[in-house]
Amino acid sequence: MADALCNGVVASPCGRDVAGRARGAARAALAESLQVAGHASKTSFSAGRMSVKDSKPRPLSRSLEAAAPGQMNLSFPKAMRWWKKGLHPNMREVESAQDLADSLLSAGDKLVVVDFFSPGCGGCRALHPKIAQFAEKNPGVQFLQVNYETHKSMCYSLRVHVLPFFRFYRGAEGRVSSFSCTNATINKFKDALAKHGAERCSLGPARGLDESELMALAENRDLHFTYDKPGGLVPLAEAIAKEAAAPGGPWLPLPASLLGQGSDNSLLPSGR
C-alpha cells in the first residue's frame, strides 16, 4: 500500500485508478506535519526553500497596548542645528542677559559683533555661512549669537524687533553700529566690520551696553539681571565747595565764584 502511495497509483477493488486522490491525501498529510508553533508554512519541493509567516497576529506588548492610536512617538537622531554649524573659536551663543553684559565688558578694546537670530528665520539661516566666514577671517573679533526664541524677553528689552539683526560694540565707545541685513545687503556688514575692526590704541575700559539698555534689562522681571547704577557726576563747583568745607581744607584760597552764592567767606582757610 505504501509503495502504491509513493508511486501515486492505487488499484481499488472496483478496478478504478485513484492515483489523483492518493496524491492529494499525501500532500495534505505533509502540510499538517509542517505546522510549527502556530506558524503556517509554504513549501516548494523543486527549490527546496521554506518561508515561514505568522498565521495569527502576535500580541502587542503592554506598553504598546496602553498607547492610544496616534500617540506613538518615534525618536530619530537630531541633525546638527544650522546655527551651530561651521563655528569658530571666536563664535559662541549667549546664555543670558547677564552673560551678554559681562561678555561686552570683558572684551576690552576688542570689537564684539552681537548676532540676533531665530531658528525659524530663513534669512538668518541663509546668512549664517557668510557670518562664519567673516569670523574665520577676523579671529580678533568676538561674535556673540543671541537666539531670539530662547531670549525673547531680553530682545524685547533691547528693542530688537527685526531679524537678522546685528549690533557692533567696541571698547570705550560702546555701541558703534546697529543694523539689519540679508545676503542681498551683506556689504553693509562687511563695511561695518572693516570700519570698526581696525587695530587701534585702547581709549579706556569697555563701555558695553548703554545705560538705557542696562536699566531696561534690570526692570524686566522675566530676567535675572541686576544693575547697580553708578552715582551721578557732581558739578565742579559743588565738588570744590564740599572739599573746602571739609576739615583741613585746601591750602590755597579759591575764587568766590566757585563757592556758590550766599557764601560769607570769600577766602578759604589755609588749614595752618
Residues with catalytic function: 121, 124
Question: Exposure of 125 by Cβ count < 10 A (0-12 exposed, 13-18 middle, 19+ buried)?
Answer: middle
**Beta-carbon count within 10 A of 214 CB:** 19
State the DSSP string of the chain: -HHHHHHT--B-TT--B-HHHHHHHHHHHHHHHT-BTTEEEEEETTTTEEEEEESSPPPPPHHHHHSPTT------PPPPPGGGTT--TTEEE--SHHHHHHHHHTTTTSEEEEEEE-TT-HHHHHHHHHHHHHHHH-TTSEEEEEETTT-HHHHHHTT--SSSEEEEEEGGGEEEEEEE--GGGHHHHHHHHHHHSS-----SS---S-HHHHHHHHH-TTS-----PPPPPPPHHHHHHHHHHSSS--SS---GGGT-TT-S-SS-----
